[in-house]
Structure 1
Amino acid sequence: MGRVVCLVGIATANGQAAQQQRPQLAEEVFKNVQIIKGIPVDEFMDTMGMFAAATNMNCVDCHTSDSTESWENFAKETPLKQTARRMLLMVDAINKQNFKGVRSVTCYTCHHGDRRPKQIPSLVVQYSAPIEDPNEIDVFSNAGGLSADQIFAKYLQALGGAERLASLTSFVAKGTYSGYDTDQAKAAIEIYAKAPAQRTTIVHAPFGDSVRVYDGRAAWIASPDKPLPLIPLTGGNLEGAKIEAMVSFPTPIKQAFNQWRVTTTTIDDREVTVLQGTNPRQPPVNFYFDQSGLLVRLVRLADTAIGRVPTQIDYGDYREVSGVKLPFRWTATWTDGQSTTQLTEVQANVSIDAAKFGRPAPAPPPRTK
């Protein structure tokens, strides 16, 4: 979908403003924001993704056809933007009047991926086999199954064992990246990772270098195709950056959550074991393991102003590096697009300059084709 933006306009902040400690709020960055105010830019963009997922629409469906040519054009009024504002007020009133303000009803509740909510029951849906979504898990039943401790032990053993995992302290990887932001063209990618949970990725995209950093506590995106030259990650996005960094050095994952629940489901007709980790006041995170014990999927959620949005990462092509199995391919899917990373080489236990994990410099304007 490229840039998913609704109800917004021009990005007015510059690099100096992006360096402020407090994340900039949506109304400070975009023009014509009338309702969804008081949230950081990364959450605001996720909110736009929620609109897109709920209605199966993209940027130019809500905005003018020239919107993707410039961030300024997103400020223009359209009838659908005005309708969206009315719907936001309606949903907010429903939740306040019926659910004590808890966000129980969202855009997706009624739209369910359709531009217009359906009024007439579908006989095709009623009499067809239901579509099973392994990401939708409501019941955790593990009668007679493995415990969370046993599943983690099997996972670590499948990767090479605790001793070998402890010996892996860093790695540098190279490969290719392709996604919506590169128009599916393959771009070179570099990854720098250091235990226990530092990670930097640099995609050499056609529009310029896209940099993502998690330094162990804070995270940022510096990319020419974003509305700000430097975006600090907050909330679920910050927690997600932490979890994704920990997957490279997974021993501490078990201690990262207060509570674990276990169940099973299927992915592509293969049975997988699901561990769901929860912490107070945070969305749950699901880890999916195949029969060999390897992690094949991670699903995390981020709260937005109008509901939670998912990010799914599918891991595969595990190869041994210094006695430890690492995924050489993963596909990330979220409400703003999909991307695939394929590694071609990994160097283990190399010295990495600490500056690689520092806050990145603001991205320059995008390169023109």
Structure 2
Amino acid sequence: HGLLGAAGLAIVSLMSAAPVRGQAGMEQKPPMAEEVFKNVQVLKGIPVNQFMGTMGIFSAALGFSCEDCHTASDRGWDVYAIDTNPKKRTARRMVTMMTEINRANFGGRQVVTCYTCHRGNDRPAVTLNMATLYAERPPENADVIPAFPGAPSSDQVLDKYVQALGGAQRLAGLTSFVAKGTSVGYGPEGDKRPFEIFAKAPGQRTAITHTLDGDSIIVVDGRGGWVAAPHRPVPVLALTGQDLDGARLDADLAFPSRIKDALTTWRVGPSETIGGRDAQVVQGTGANGALATLYFDKESGLLVRQVRYADSPVGRIPTLIDYSDYRDVSGVKMPFHWTVAWLDGQDTVQLAEVRPNIAIDAAKFARPAPPSR
């Protein structure tokens, strides 16, 4: 997973960012894939973040790593443009085929994706596996959750969440915090790394993972946001579109007194089981169209999972975050442990301390410098 894994930590997980309500016009134009990478033929006209997420879909849908299609190495991103591997040329044909199937049969709606047929295999199965026919299979829920008759209203679920955290008055009294802990990645990123969060309401937050290759940083200053990390095709990249939607939601969950304003078109779906416990499922939509599904423990009311989706030309790009180890911080419950999983990696954060309502230098929320070792 090499270069893509290191980049994915900052690009896809977006664990720390902030709300920028009603400021879509202020977003910077993101660099397009063909402006950054060489030899882009089919996936032109999409931002770099979406392009990288699309690579993650290829990887997950086929069970591949970068090296299965690319001449990947630590020599730099230019080697990814080489076309010596026939699998890369096949991928271009498959994207064109998938697009035409959706155009000809579904009015251009994204009904068929890479995962529809491949399901984690490089070659789609053509014969039923009898060993699994009568076995219990894990559920595969729809991305878009319809409203469920008889379910409580979204206001009821979200009000219970606010109360479970300590109540609206105490939440409003939390105006800033600094947190420190550790982050453990996936595979070669599996060593513990120092981790810090600087957050100030409304809408300012910086998260820093100190890696051996340099700092991975996500910053939001209340208006815009950036990601910077080692081994990235763009050293410092502005957050835009549905990436910004996800960042806004993460920030609202850090200061959740106004959680109802985080998304629109809230709807409550059927209950599900998370970690052996019943969870109430609520879904909403971000300003730029990103879907986000929140799972609240039915008994405690606390948030236990978030799944959000961003669009790509070959399917939705999911990010899953599981929250646990809620502790009291000045009368407000905060998760001290979370695991974020995306298509090319996983990161687990364990906080050791949170200091609430302290002064934070405004420079902490400035555009980050390119990472250096």
Provide TM-score, normalisation by structure 1: 0.89
Q: Distance in 2 between matches of 1:130 and 1:181?
A: 27
Q: Kindly provide the amino acid, as one letter, of the partner of residue 171 in structure 1.
A: F
Match of residue 123 from structure 1: 130
Give 1:194 shift.
Answer: 1.1
**Alignment partner of 2:361 out of 342, 345, 353:** 353
Offset from partner CA, 1:61-115 (integer Å, 9 cap, x none): 1113x53453232122111101001111111111111112222211111112111
1:3 aligns to what SS in structure 2?
helix
Match of residue 301 from structure 1: 309
1:193 aligns to what SS in structure 2?
strand
2:322 aligns to what SS in structure 1?
strand
Tell whether 2:242 aligns with 1:236: yes
**Alignment partner of 1:35 out of 35, 42, 52:** 42
Q: Kindly provide the amino acid, as one letter, of the partner of residue 302 in structure 1.
A: A
Q: Distance in 1 between matches of 2:109 and 2:144?
A: 21
Q: Kindly provide the amino acid, as one letter, of the partner of residue 267 in structure 2.
A: R
2:311 aligns to what SS in structure 1?
strand
Cα contact 1:222–1:362 (8 A) shared by 2:
yes
* RMSD (CA atoms): 2.0
Provide TM-score, normalisation by structure 2: 0.88
Match of residue 338 from structure 2: 330
Give 1:218 shift.
Answer: 2.0
Q: Kindly provide the amino acid, as one letter, of the partner of residue 309 in structure 1.
A: I
Q: Kindly provide the amino acid, as one letter, of the partner of residue 225 in structure 2.
A: A
Match of residue 341 from structure 1: 349
Give 1:284 shift.
Answer: 2.1
Match of residue 67 from structure 1: 73
Higher relative contact order, chain-length normalized (CA < 8 Å, sep 6+): 2
Seq. identity, %:
52
> Structure 1 residues 324, 109: CA separation in 2 closer, same or farther (over 3 Å shift)?
same
Offset from partner CA, 1:21-69 (integer Å, 9 cap, x none): 43211111111111111111111111111111111111111113x5345
Give 1:196 shift.
Answer: 2.5
Give 1:139 shift.
Answer: 4.8
Give 1:157 shift.
Answer: 1.1
| The 10-residue stretch of structure 1 (66-75 or 31-40) with the greater mean CA deviation from structure 2 | 66-75
Cα contact 2:322–2:340 (8 A) shared by 1:
yes
Match of residue 8 from structure 1: none
| The 10-residue stretch of structure 1 (92-101 or 252-261) with the greater mean CA deviation from structure 2 | 252-261
Q: Kindly provide the amino acid, as one letter, of the partner of residue 306 in structure 2.
A: L
> Structure 1 residues 123, 136: CA separation in 2 closer, same or farther (over 3 Å shift)?
farther
Q: Kindly provide the amino acid, as one letter, of the partner of residue 162 in structure 2.
A: L
Q: Kindly provide the amino acid, as one letter, of the partner of residue 4 in structure 2.
A: V
Offset from partner CA, 1:295-339 (integer Å, 9 cap, x none): 011111111122211001111111111110111011000112100
Give 1:232 shift.
Answer: 1.5
Q: Kindly provide the amino acid, as one letter, of the partner of residue 169 in structure 1.
A: T
> 5+ residue gaps in structure 2?
6-26
Match of residue 277 from structure 2: 270
Tell whether 2:204 aligns with 1:198: yes
> 5+ residue gaps in structure 1?
6-19
Match of residue 178 from structure 2: 172
Cα contact 1:2–1:336 (8 A) shared by 2:
no
1:301 aligns to what SS in structure 2?
strand
**Alignment partner of 2:267 out of 245, 261, 264:** 261
> Structure 1 residues 160, 284: CA separation in 2 closer, same or farther (over 3 Å shift)?
same
Tell whether 2:200 aligns with 1:219: no
Give 1:198 shift.
Answer: 1.9
Match of residue 289 from structure 2: 282
> Structure 1 residues 220, 182: CA separation in 2 closer, same or farther (over 3 Å shift)?
farther
Give 1:352 shift.
Answer: 1.1
